[in-house]
Amino acid sequence: MRMVFRWFGEGNDTVSLGQIKQIPGVEGIVWALHDVPAGEEWPMEKILEVRDQAAKYNLHLDVVESVNVHEDIKLGLPTRDRYIQNYITTIERLAQVGVKVICYNFMPVFDWARTELHKTMDDGSTALFFEKSKIDGIDPFKFVQEINQNSTLTMPGWEPERLEHLNSLFEAYKGVSSEDLWEHLAYFLKAIVPVAERYGIQMAIHPDDPPWPIFGLPRIITGQESLRRLLKIVDSPSNGITLCSGSFGANPDNDIVSMIHEFHERIPFAHIRNVRVYDNGDFIETSHRTQDGTVDITGIVKAYHDNGFTGYVRPDHGRHLWGEECRPGYGLYDRALGIMYLWGLWDALERVQPITRKEGSI
Least distance from ligand DNO to the Cβ atom of residue 35, Å? 16
- Stretch 254-293: interaction string toward ligand DNO, x if CB under 6 A: -----------------x----------------------
**Chosen residue from 112, 182, 188, 330 binding ligand DNO by CB under 6 A:** 112
CB closer to ligand DNO out of 220 and 349: 220
CB closer to ligand DNO out of 132 and 271: 271
Looking only at residues 242 through 261 of this chain, which bind Mn ion when binding is defined by CB under 5 A?
244
278 a catalytic residue? no
Per partner kind, with CB cut-offs from 5 to 8 A, the member of ligand DNO, Mn ion, none near residue 50 is: none
CB closer to ligand DNO out of 69 and 234: 69
Q: 319 with 277: CB under 8 angstroms? A: no
**Chosen residue from 63, 103, 220, 270 binding ligand DNO by CB under 6 A:** 103
Residues sharing a CB contact under 8 Å with residue 248, sequence separation 6 or more, in sequence order: 207, 211, 223, 254, 256, 259
Stretch that binds ligand DNO, among 195-203, 239-247, 279-287, 294-302 (CB under 6 A): 239-247
Least distance from ligand DNO to the Cβ atom of residue 172, Å? 21
Cα–Cα distance between 218 and 100 in angstroms, integer? 30
Burial class, 124, CB count within 10 angstroms (exposed 0-12 / middle 13-18 / buried 19+): exposed
Cα–Cα distance between 245 and 6 in angstroms, integer? 16
> Catalytic residue among 209, 282, 316, 334, which?
316
**Chosen residue from 2, 60, 64, 66 binding ligand DNO by CB under 6 A:** 66
CA-wise closest residue to 1 among 210, 285, 260: 260
- For residue 361, whether the previous peptide bond is cis, meaning omega lies within 30 degrees of 0, is no
Please spell the DSSP secondary structure of 87-101, one letter per residue: HHHHHHHHHHTT--E
- For residue 207, whether the previous peptide bond is cis, meaning omega lies within 30 degrees of 0, is no
> Catalytic residue among 70, 184, 305, 317, which?
317
> Catalytic residue among 87, 103, 244, 326, which?
244
Cα–Cα distance between 160 and 173 in angstroms, integer? 19
244 a catalytic residue? yes
Per partner kind, with CB cut-offs from 5 to 8 A, the member of Mn ion, ligand DNO, none near residue 65 is: ligand DNO
> Catalytic residue among 104, 330, 334, 341, which?
330
First to last CA, the chain: 9
Cα–Cα distance between 77 and 125 in angstroms, integer? 44
296 a catalytic residue? no
Please spell the DSSP secondary structure of 47-73, one letter per residue: HHHHHHHHHTTT-EEEEEE--PPPHHH
Residue 90 in the binding site for ligand DNO (CB under 6 A): no
Cα–Cα distance between 276 and 293 in angstroms, integer? 4
320 a catalytic residue? no
Cα–Cα distance between 355 and 362 in angstroms, integer? 11
Q: Which residues contact ligand DNO by CB under 6 A?
A: 65-66, 103-105, 111-112, 206, 209, 244, 246-247, 271, 316
Q: Which residues are catalytic?
A: 206, 244, 271, 316-317, 330
Q: Which residues contact Mn ion by CB under 5 A?
A: 244, 271, 316
